Each structure stands twice: as C-alpha cells, then as structure tokens.
Chain A
C-alpha cells in the first residue's frame, strides 16, 4: 500500500538517513524508536513530504509521491501529528477541526470522533486554553476525520503523564479505523505496546528495513 525504498538524506555533508525502507499495508501498526538524533524526525518529514530525500522513492498505492510537496502527501491520505501539537492560536478548536470540509462523510466521522473524545465542550476554546492531553487527542481527531491511509504520530508522549498517555493510547486504539495504517515514532515503549504490533529500532547511520509481517 505504502512504500518508501532506499531513502537517503544528508544535511550539509552529514548523512542522517542511509538506506531506509518502510513498507506498510492497510491496518499495520508500527512503532519506530531510537535514541535522540538518530534521524526519526527526518524520517517523518520525508514520509510526509516536508523534506525531499536525496535518494530513494516513495509510493502510496499507485501514486509516486517522491519530491511532491507536503500538501500532496496530505491530500493523498498521509496525515501526521507534530511534536508540539500544531494549531492556529487565533482560531477556536471547533473552527479548525471543521476546516477540512463540508463533505457529509467527513462531518459524520468528525462528529463520531468528537463524541468519543470528550472534545465537544472544548470546541469554542482557543488552543492555548485547552489542556495538552486534549490537544493531542484533537490532533489525532483532526487527522482521523479524513479517514487517512496512514497516520503518523510524532512523539505523542511528550508532555503527558503516564495515565494520560495510557488513556490516549486507549482512545487511539478505539478510534483508529481498520484500514488506517499507524506509524508511531516514540521512545516510550509502554505506549508503543498499547498501540502498535511491531516496534523497530532506528540506529544512527544504519539502514532500516521495516515491513510489518
């Protein structure tokens, strides 16, 4: 379904990613872990189109996405979250969640997710008036409402207590559709245990082959 092959990336002469490959099928649940600086962020950025790889290619179903801009990745169905839960500070949560569309299936799915996430009461608030655990959920809701092919989470545990993390993991498990593939880049293995089936470790300058079997 989704495939990244032979991805290499250097920054100013320093090779950060060398020969990374990642294959995903519908419904896969993969975790990627590794020490700081090993290239996890770079990997996410390349997988979501925010950075172009020096070598290698990226394909989703029958779309070649290599070197496409990030918005095309998103349109194709690859959604992500950010380490610091990115939201516009000058619009309410509700405005932002309903930003993506009027299509009835989107609205229905969004309403469904909102019901299950306890976010209804926060819709009229600004993001800086909302607690971090709720914001993280909101980010996931934002991504899942579009029924993406892949959802990539970027260090979702940052700033959450163990309880909050557990709750977040449960929420994720419940709401993730059967067809959506999940990639979690994280270092908290307890969280990974809740939401993923396979965990792979990235090491500096070593190739990585990820295929969920």
Chain B
C-alpha cells in the first residue's frame, strides 16, 4: 500500500482511540475536555518502556493502559461531586496540569551514545521501535487496525451486556437510574477509568508510530476534536466516533488544496449538523431501528 495512504489511515485509527475514549465518558453523561492528556501519558509511558527500559512492546502498551486508567481514576475520584460544566472544566484544568508536568519532565539518559528520554518541551525523540522491528507503514497500519477492531469487539460485547445500557441510563437520567438501584458513582468511575485505559493505549501506539512526541502535541485542541468526532459520529454505537474521525480526516485529505479552509467548512458543517441532527449520525434510535430490521430478517 502507498505509505502515505497507510500513514493517513493509521492516523485515523489512532485518533479513533481518543475519540472512543471521549465517547465512553459521554456515555455516562459527562463531557471531558481532557482525554488528550491520558493519550499523552500513554505515549510517554510506552516510549519510556521501549526506549529507556528496553522493554517488550506488550509491556510498553500495557503500561500505557494502566497509566491512562490510573490517571483518569485519580481525576474521577477528585471530581466525584462534580458534573456537567463543572466536571468539563475540571477535566480541562487537570489535562493542562498534566501537560505542564510533561513539559517539566526531563529524564534523559545516554544510551549507545545518544541522549534519549523525555526532555521537557523538546519532547521524546528517537522512539525507534518500528525501525528496530522492521515495521513499515503498512505493517503498522495492520497492527493499529487490529487493535482497534479488538477494542470495538470488546465494546460491542459490553453493549450486549446490560452494563452499557445501565451506564447510558446513569448518563441520561440519573434519577431513573437510581430508582432502579443503580449507583451512578460506580458507573461514572468505571467508564471514566475505562476511557483513560483506551486513551492510554491509543497514545502508546501513537508514540510508536510517530517516533517523536512532545507535550505540545497533546493540547486541548486535540481533545476537543476527539470529542467532536464522537458527537458527530453519534452516541448510539461505539463505531460512531470512528465515523466522525473518518469524516473529518477524510475531508482534510480530500480537499488538500483547501486545507486552510477545511476548518471553516468543517466547523460550520458541524454546527449546522447539530441543528438538524443533534444526536449525531449513529443515534441510539437509528441503531435500534437498524437492529430491529436486521433482527426481523434473521427471524
């Protein structure tokens, strides 16, 4: 496959992780502007394990997952009494605080004559895993897509279980949820932590793919974009965020000459879209209707 196309698709896949991460928080009825920070933490952790500790990539990605989850768990516990706008702003502050911490993190070591490690604003360079393991663009795309597919399958499984619907109830109508004996805090914390794990994993892959990461890459704009993809794609299914990603990045790539105007067009489109279809493309009702139709066909 053309390496450029492969890298565009890989980019889409990695951002999809972040978008799904934002989606998981939306499920429980909250908005997070801070998922990008856990994406960044995952990236730094994976880079550190592969470069500084010379660890196996599985450990590296596992560390990213745990790191992301831990970070969001801390945030979730601190903000346990907050919701709505207050929660959203707190996620923004938390994310920026994490990013600043990354900006101050300098832990370089001389390995094989090269200075490696996180170096404050300069970031973390020479994440050579894909070179050392002979992963070209197509190989990595395959890896990313496989991981994303596994994640989506896991989430579908979650959707089939009652957990997802219960979480949606908590998010949509907490009073109803409580009257059914559901403890909203458990679902909130659970899904928020899960969202961090997903973001961390995506960040880990991102570090490997990009070979260079720096704090500036994980700013608020990245997170809010991911959030937008989630909302546009629709909250009815875990595929929704992916649709949003494909739409925007696809738009960006297809009108390259008008790249500058892309934001003007996309921004306006999103706002207009929300006027007419606020639930996003794959809304719950649409998904349920589709399921109904397919169900009947199988019967």
Contacts and interface: CB of A to CB of B under 8 A. Distances in A.
A100 to B, nearest CB: 6
B80 to A, nearest CB: 13
B173 A86 contact: yes
Contacts of B179: 48, 70-71, 74, 79-80, 82, 86
Contact of A74 (B168, B173, B180): B180
A27 interface: no
Interface of A: 48-50, 69-71, 74-75, 79-80, 82, 86-88, 90-92, 95-96, 98-102, 124, 126, 142, 146
A71 B181 contact: yes
B175 A88 contact: no
Contacts, number: 67
B169 A88 contact: yes
B295 to A, nearest CB: 8
Interface residues of B, number: 23
A86 to B, nearest CB: 5
Given A99-B162, A124-B292, A126-B288, A71 B169 contact: no
A101 B163 CA distance: 10
A69 B168 CA distance: 19
Q: Is the interface of A mostly helix, strand, loop or mixed?
A: loop
A91 B165 contact: yes
CB-CB nearest 3 A-B residue pairs: A90-B284, A74-B181, A70-B178
Contacts of B162: 98-99, 101-102
Contacts of A101: 162
A48 B180 CA distance: 11
B2 to A, nearest CB: 41
13 contacts: A50-B175, A71-B177, A71-B179, A71-B183, A82-B176, A86-B175, A90-B285, A90-B288, A91-B165, A91-B168, A92-B288, A96-B169, A100-B180
Contacts of A88: 165, 168-169, 172-173, 176
Interface string B139-166: 0000000000000000000000010011
B182 interface: yes
Nearest to A81: B179
Given A69-B178, A86-B179, A126-B285, 10 more contacts: A48-B179, A70-B175, A71-B179, A71-B184, A90-B168, A91-B284, A91-B288, A92-B288, A99-B162, A100-B181
